[in-house]
Structure formats: C-alpha cells, structure tokens
Amino acid sequence: ARSNIMWIATWALNTLVAKGKSTDWMVHMIGQSIGAYTDATHGMTLAAVSLPYYRHIMPYGLAKFKRFAINVWDVRPEGKTDEQIAQAGLAAMESYMRELGLVLNGRELGVDETMLDGIAQGSFILDGGYKVLTKEEIVEILKETLKA
C-alpha cells in the first residue's frame, strides 16, 4: 500500500496525470503564502483555504463541482439545480473535514487581518484553474477563511 501511495504521489507531483488537461494548483499557492506568515504546515493551510477557495471558483467550474458532489459525496441530484448539487457536495466535504478535526479557520493558524494583503501579494497567481484570480479576490478568499 505504501509503495502504491508513493507511486501515485510521484505521478501527481511530476504532473504526468495532468497531461492533456488543465489543472488548478491555486489553492496550494495561497496555502504556501499563509505558511510563510505562520507556523502552519501546508496541509493545515490547505484545509483552511480549500472551502472558501472552492466556493469562490465554483461558478466557473460548476459542471466539475456537480460531478464531484454526485460521484464523491453521493449527493442525489433529483429536484436540485446544478448549483445546489455543487453546494451540497462542498457542504458534505466540510462536514467530513470537521469530523476529521481539521482546522478550517485561518485565525486558528495564526492569520489575522493585518496579514491578508501580504499573503495575497505572496501568492503566485497561476492560470491553469477555472478562474485566474486577482490579488483582490485572494484577499476576499482569505477573509472568508477568518470567518470559518
């Protein structure tokens, strides 16, 4: 099992699984910048940033978020709009993350309002995702992490 995990991690990190398709690593860039301002590990920063980031980009990748909700979280689509299905998937993800005891609030990682502009400035903006973010949008996402 360990060798299988290492093998797929190698494929993912050397970008071979991304050949022929667009990939989105922006949540990692924001997480890395948070880590530069705090003592939080990369995994901790991803947990705090993921949901606000996904909610922000969901309208631009709605079909994929809908598929994620149905196939990963077993959200039943009957009687729901695509947006409601996608939102239900993110709600299920949030519930699971809380069940695991992950930190979902940036404040618990040491982030405060005085750091937001600097974190946004330090976030390398990538263009492979559903939406190319502006620094202002990154600040808005970071503000959401403080509310979680």
**Domains of the chain, start order:** 23-147 (1.20.1090.10)
Q: Mean pLDDT check: name the lowest of 18-32, 74-88, 101-115.
A: 18-32
pLDDT tops 90 at residue 129:
no
The whole-model pTM stands at 0.89
pLDDT recorded at residue 148: 67
pLDDT recorded at residue 115: 97
> How confident is the model over 9-65, as pLDDT tens digits?
888 778 777 788 788 889 999 999 999 999 899 999 999 999 999 999 999 999 999
Buried-state track 76-100, b at ≥16 Cβ within 10 A, e below 16: eeeeeeeeebbbbbbebbbeebeee
